[in-house]
Amino acid sequence: MYGKLARVLFILLILHSCTTGMRFCVTLDALEHGASSFEVGAMLASVALFPAFGAIAAGRWLDRSGPRPSLALAIFCAASAGAATLIFPIKTAGLWPLFSACILVGTAFMLTNTVVQRLTGDVSTNETRALAFTLLSIVTALSGLLTPIITGYLIEHFGFASFYCWVAGAPIFVGLMCLLPFMRHVLPAGGNGARKAAGTHPQKVMDFFRDPPMRAVLVCSVVVSVAWEVGNLLIPVYCASVNLSPSDIGWVLGSFSAASFAVRLLMPYLMRHMREWIMIALTLLISALAFVLFPFFESQLPLMACAFLLGLGLGASLPNMMSLVYRLAPKGRTGEAIGLRLMLINSSKATFPVAMGALGAVIGAGASLWGLAIFVFLGFLFAMRSAPTVIGAVAGSHTEH
């Protein structure tokens, strides 16, 4: 398992660094050139535009055609995002190239996630699946830790175009590597038979929502994602409003990722002592507390501490969410379940950043962080109410998939 998983996670590491860094870079680029909080929120919401409508189709396409076409399109979109910002700089073309890059990078992010999450579940066994998803989440945390810091210094010393060059070139490197035999072995040429067999029976997306445990997992996935994505919008905006430099902001976001990375290293131990769903509920409570604390501080170190607390909370959620979706999905529809989760997440991304950006333009980023704290705390209450249903379903499906 580990050899194949390492190759899958290498693909994720490179493409995740492009998509994560791009959102951070275009945010600062737009703010540097006078964009309002509303414009930045709308721009980042465009990251979720295509995934909000196409994630389910992408999951079905993955089940039907295999990972190669989806990964090829992800590579093309990511490289095109970097190229668009280089060919049409904001000084001459305005914000539209950044909007286009966000749409492209969001599409690449969606396709990469569907492919990598499906392959991670497929190459692992019942006994190793939770560990495999934990390793996947560690890779994303490592990318999230290093990318904002490196990007911040690149911007300060070489300008925004330096990172755009990386985004334009790195996906092409991944694509060339995938042509080599040792990489092609982990990328099956066709779809899986389970999906084709399942396709002989009528299938509807609403089947997932009629299942209470899956419905609870999907709802809490949205809450966690909103906390993660809107937080990544509001935190840089708030830090910029208190006059932190790009590298200082990079360290604040990096401390968030450092905590995410650290807590995921501890995940195998935590999983032995705490149920997955209880851990998810606890992450929501810790995250709400962190959002409450942010507006009380205006210097780098206290803001790094708040971001670290937030990372401890949200960082533990991702591997548990992915494991629960894979475990509770109907047989033969795992890719579709992953796509549905991504669709719901990205639909919320398309609305909440705009709403919070507009709210931030009126009441400030600090007050918006308090509004986000209330939303996340309501998610915690919902998770606790759903705990018996989800825990019972997980116990009953322990031997499935």
DSSP string covering 338-381: HHHHHHHHHHHHHHHHHHHHHHHHHH-HHHHHHHHHHHHHHHHH
Between 194-198, 203-207, 296-300, the lowest mean confidence (pLDDT) is in: 194-198
Going by pLDDT thresholds of 50, 70 and 90, the confidence category of residue 348 is confident
Q: Quick check: 45 pLDDT over 50? A: yes
Mean pLDDT on 24-41? 84
Q: How far is CA 12 from CA 36, 75, 293, 312, 390, in A?
A: 32, 11, 32, 22, 29
What share of the chain in percent tops pLDDT 70?
92
Mean pLDDT on 269-280? 84
How many whole angstroms from its chain centre is CA 313? 15
Comparing C-alpha atoms, which of 211, 229, 372, 364 is closest to residue 288? 372
d(CA 376, CA 390) in angstroms, rounded, equals 19
Q: What angle do CA 134, 135, 137 make, to 5 degrees?
A: 65
Residue with tokens 């870079």: 25
- Half-sphere exposure (Cβ direction) of 257: Cα atoms closer than 13 Å: 25
pTM confidence score: 0.74
| Of 295 and 130, more confident | 295
| Of 12 and 357, more confident | 12
Residue 190's pLDDT is: 66
d(CA 379, CA 10) in angstroms, rounded, equals 33
Residue 197's pLDDT is: 46
Going by pLDDT thresholds of 50, 70 and 90, the confidence category of residue 203 is low
Going by pLDDT thresholds of 50, 70 and 90, the confidence category of residue 78 is very high
Mean pLDDT on 375-398? 87
- Does residue 188 sit in helix, strand or coil? coil
Q: Quick check: 238 pLDDT over 70? A: yes
Going by pLDDT thresholds of 50, 70 and 90, the confidence category of residue 401 is very low
Residue with tokens 């430099």: 245
d(CA 70, CA 61) in angstroms, rounded, equals 8
Which pair of structure tokens corresponds to residue 133?
């998803």
Q: Quick check: 49 pLDDT over 80? A: no
Between 13-17, 109-113, 190-194, 256-260, the lowest mean confidence (pLDDT) is in: 190-194
